[in-house]
A and B are shown apart, each in its own frame.
Chain A
Amino acid sequence: MKRTIKVANLARVEGEGALDLVISDGRVVKANFSIFESPRFFEAFLQGRRAAEAPDLTARICGICPVAYQMSSVHALESILGLDLPAPWRQLRRLLYCGEWLESHALHIYFLHAPDFLGYPSGLALAQDFPETVKEGLAIKKAGNDLVSLLGGREVHPMNVRVGGFYRTPTPAALQTLVPQLEKALALAQKTVRWVASFTFPDATWDYEFVVLRHPQDYPLCEGRLVSNRGLDIAAADFEDHIAEEHVRHSNALQGFLLPRGAYLVGPLARFALNYDRLSPLARQAAQEVGLAPACTNPFQSIIVRSIELVFACEEALRLIRTYTRPPRPYLEAPWRPGRGSAITEAPRGILYHRYTVDNQGIIQDARIVPPTAQNQKTIEGDLCRVAAQHLHLDDQGLTHILEQAIRNYDPCISCATHCLRLNVIRT
């Protein structure tokens, strides 16, 4: 007997994707996570643009994680210039990134993912019954957005980031104004960990290859080597020797795979598993309290890991503000020279790779961008097969629901994945 599960338009994901599952004689024969959002061709139109434009242009790949694009692009380009920015600028960039993690994770936890566990269609519907809870989520999200606005100029597509630093740096006093809000967000993030840990999770523990940045001291944001739990240990510059992308018919996003092993997982679960020892003290304590330390391999529990990362991001932001001294200049400059530069940073959804080749005028000859959701596609499809196989006894509605949830575990950002998705049917 053949059974087909189709979701033409996935909800509560960023961008446009679909799910296609075929079960034949009690076996899953096809599990496609399709990305049909229309391609936008960023790598193509970056050719011939000034390298200095890359942070502003690539930010437009994603309205939810523009800071990630800005951070990967500036680090890649600064490596060509030979600019290794000193501490104050690096701290400001970490701080800006903490803002984006807070905004993005809080949105996913409260509006996109928690409704799955509690049986609501949306965060807004959840708010009808639990207004205080959702307001707390919004307060965390707002703390993140306010941080991004203060440092970046605005929440979506900040305009204050540039190669070499910032256009304008904040005064310590300006950053201090965020402290009360971040302290409140920290307490609410700790509460979030306890709240989401109380959800009922499907039994699912799988063996993943986690791929993440690893830094000598810090929980990774902008810096570190790319490592995995199966022996990968490379510099950003060697990324393309180890990770390839393939173009499959059902997706307008290229799918990343690790040579020679195939699917791998990037994002919160991977960061938590391989960087637990680098978490801030309260984040580690929050993980211990809910019994999640030191690793978690159940993708449905990624919501707990994201909330632990909320604790981290608040605590780290507060630390960075406390120790901030304003850099002597807003940015550093160096003359353009021909070269090839790459960088990887940890976007909320996982590692984001940028590589540019520029000429002696600073004009981009070639660009390559590999976003986290593209890298997770194969793993998501693997999860769909495994989850479906475990839940074949459910009726179509129940099976569809848990499969959609399996996709949302990854907080997939489809706009990112297609930077290069589309809707076939309008339901009226």
Chain B
Amino acid sequence: MGARLKLAVWKFASCDGCQLSLLNLEDQLLALTDYLNVAYFLEASSAVAPGPYDLSLVEGSITTPADAKRIRQIRRVSKAVAAIGACATAGGIQALRNFADINTYIPIVYAQPGYIRTLADSTPLAQHIKIDLELPGCPINKYQLLEVIKALIQGRRPRFPQESVCSTCKRLGIICVMVAEGQPCLGPVTQAGCGALCPASHRGCYGCFGPKENPNTASLAARFRQLGVAEADIVRLFRTFTAAAAPFRQESLAHETNH
């Protein structure tokens, strides 16, 4: 066995769920430490080893001036940076602010707006630094995270499905909730990786893995309209956990009447 990979786990604006996925690998976690030196992982350890790091897993989006600076510092001390989850890859749910005037938001939550320092937009890491790998999902699939770590240990590229949730449904023999039940479903335009959990539970996909490559969102929106979905609800459907990802953003804006 070669030298252990030096791993760092960083957090920006997020819910902690994606980094928790590492600790949720209960059956693999202790074995992984044979290959990984967990050098920086504040949620799990108070021991902090200095960089450089072989792999930085970064959760969360950039929402403050200080964070915009910190992510560049992390890039400098990391051989590879993987953006994990919808916040890091697409700005996350907090990017809903990008569609509003942030100055109208702050007083809704905080009595002393003057104490709050925040950027107008929540942005993905790739808008600030070069990213080596993006893992989609709100939350990520922990087995995809394991694949990233295994691939790096083995010196190969990680393998992920590049297809839509629809393909997962077909493979698993899940009856189409849109065709059979007339429910709006984002499956046709959403990146696979979750295991088609929602359609398997008789609900339409809500797009938490974000847009797949070249999604035909306009065609899907037209179908939603035929199913009787109101324009305002089409906006809501495209505007959740990856609302700032370009294809979903554009589609939601196209249906916003006051735009």
Contacts and interface: CB of A to CB of B under 8 A. Distances in A.
Contact of B45 (A61, A124, A156): A124
Interface string B98-126: 00101011101111100110100000000
A197 to B, nearest CB: 24
Interface residues of B, number: 73
A122 B47 contact: yes
Interface string A217-252: 000000000000000000000000000001111001
Interface of A: 9-16, 37-45, 47, 49-50, 53, 56-57, 60-64, 66, 107, 111-112, 115, 121-125, 127-128, 131, 134-135, 138-139, 141-142, 145, 153-157, 159-160, 162, 167-168, 246-249, 252, 254, 330, 404, 413, 415, 420, 422-424, 426-428
Contacts of B96: 41, 45
A39 B97 CA distance: 11
A141 B165 CA distance: 29
Nearest to B105: A44
A142 B46 CA distance: 23
Given A41-B105, A47-B108, A153 B201 contact: yes
Nearest to A145: B24
A247 B15 contact: no
Contacts of B26: 138-139, 141-142, 145
10 contacts: A11-B46, A12-B45, A38-B12, A42-B109, A44-B100, A107-B23, A123-B45, A138-B26, A247-B112, A415-B14
Interface in B63-89: 63-64, 66-67, 70, 73-74, 77
* Nearest 8 Cβ contacts at the A-B interface: A63-B17, A122-B45, A121-B47, A11-B46, A44-B105, A156-B139, A45-B96, A142-B26
Interface of B: 11-21, 23-24, 26-27, 29-30, 33, 38, 40-48, 50-52, 63-64, 66-67, 70, 73-74, 77, 92-94, 96-97, 100, 102, 104-106, 108-112, 115-116, 118, 138-139, 142, 194, 197-198, 200-203, 206, 208, 233, 236, 240-241
Nearest to A15: B16
A100 to B, nearest CB: 12
B202 A134 contact: no
Contact of A44 (B18, B46, B109): B109
Contacts of B194: 154
Contact of A57 (B17, B43, B93, B109): B93
B67 A63 contact: no
B142 to A, nearest CB: 8
Contacts, number: 212
A9 B15 CA distance: 17
Contacts of A64: 16-17, 20
Given A37-B13, A63-B18, A111-B44, A124 B33 contact: yes
Given A16-B11, A428-B73, A57 B97 contact: no
A428 B51 contact: yes
B93 A11 contact: no
B38 A124 contact: yes
Contact of B109 (A39, A155, A330, A426): A39
Given A252-B116, A254-B110, A427-B50, A44 B97 contact: yes
B230 to A, nearest CB: 10
A141 B109 CA distance: 34
B64 A38 contact: yes
B198 A159 contact: yes
Chain A CB within 10 A, most for which of B45, B66, B109, B241? B109
A426 B48 contact: no
Contact of B197 (A123, A145, A159, A415): A159
Contacts of A57: 93, 240
B110 A56 contact: no
A168 B175 CA distance: 14
B118 A38 contact: yes
A415 B15 contact: yes
B208 A41 contact: no
A121 B38 CA distance: 12
Contacts of B63: 38-40
A422 B63 CA distance: 9
B206 A13 contact: no
B2 to A, nearest CB: 19
B51 to A, nearest CB: 4
Contacts of B138: 60, 157
B17 to A, nearest CB: 2
B202 A60 contact: no
Contacts of B102: 41
B13 to A, nearest CB: 5
Contact of B70 (A50, A66, A423): A423
Contacts of A167: 198, 201-203
B116 to A, nearest CB: 6
Contact of B15 (A61, A139, A142, A252): A61
